[in-house]
Structure 1
């Protein structure tokens, strides 16, 4: 009986290491955490790749600066030329106008694509398919030569006889070609933004008595802007560069101004460098504006990194707080 009882009895559990006094713990577990040294992982491959890229960048900069054929003195002269400034202003103006036309028509086309009417939906799809399926340069040339197809524009109304040559000027052809083409791309961007909003938002708005138009303007589109803004900024920067195509139809934009000058001075390289510098300046400004606009419409996203302005404000506030404590 005694043997059976001893065999059936369980041994008491061993005390946990954390429950033991510090003097009875193993030596390897009694080391203070403050004495441990954290060794960061070394990424040797990253440093080698960074060094190679820096060397390549330095060689390229040295090659550009030391090459006399760039004629940097000519570049410096024409950077402030009046005709270049006028061309730059027209380029920026044309970008703004074409983007407004494209955005307005894009919203309308996006709503039409989501319509329950199959005729309206098919018409919007056909518009997008045509303007996305043909090159924008071809569209510009077609609008510029519209008078060859329709010398007189009547719009199907009696008593309306408009001279196409007088209406479709080079600038008008540029706005029509670029604006209508951009509308096809903006419609897809807006449609993606609308589809990103949960359908329950529309149902809730309908339950509150809002019409479909009011729901779209007050509920859906404000929430869709978070998805719409980033690609719209990219399209704006792309439009700025696409406006260089209007030089083909004699619109005096930035590139056309540069071409006019080097056709007279026979110095194409420095004038093209001048145009490239101004394109880079304007695209940089637009990129900064896009960055802050994205943050404005993504204020609910807490994963966004602080902007340089926010860091500066935080540093000034911290410095002021420390100064106040020291003075007190």
Structure 2
């Protein structure tokens, strides 16, 4: 009778990891670009090899057995090691990468940096494709990174999840954007006037956390009056031009919309820390050669667009792309 090591190969390891992470044979088949029947047959072989069901039907998805739970981390590590050891030139050369990448980004990031990222992708990874996903309120990007729905997130969360890899991209000064002729321009933008003004805010990506601006104000014992809250950046300029609302944001966004418009940038009367933008990804893609190439491409494109290197020392948990 064959021993376990004789029967288990790299293909079956990748297949098993995909089924466990996707919690579905059909989703695993889509992820691996395989027929569903092939994944089902592979799972049957794996069950025989381990003499265990490995995954059983739950209410809404497949659930790993106790033995599968104990084996998972080791099997995933083996799968990643085998993939790295067996990587061919086609897997390490950007021009030969053929996979589909999924990136989550706020609409401000999408409008400002995605064109540069796509232009670079078309030059350096001509056979790859990219899907840009918005980050609305009801999306848990941490879960999407963990489950493989997203490969990478470009964000500016004040408190990114500790279990994600983080690479700092750039920092930006916090300023205020108002319409020309705004009452604050006549009276002066003092701290008291700023806090008493009516503010325009954005729904934070993480519904359980305050946004970057309000989180800092709470930290220093202050609170502003947010009169209007929007889900996206694209309506901000028009709304500011027709109201006395104040929008507190990063300088790059303010400059992009103040030039040639009835809007004006004023210094924030509170010493806000610089807004930090970063890449976030999960351990599941950390060792993927193709995903690493994509992270480097994104970091390079944004770094060139901002005409500055990635932010200083960054958090202690910062990773290389």
Normalization by structure 2: what TM-score?
A: 0.23
The structure that is strand-richer by fraction is 2
Rg larger in structure:
1
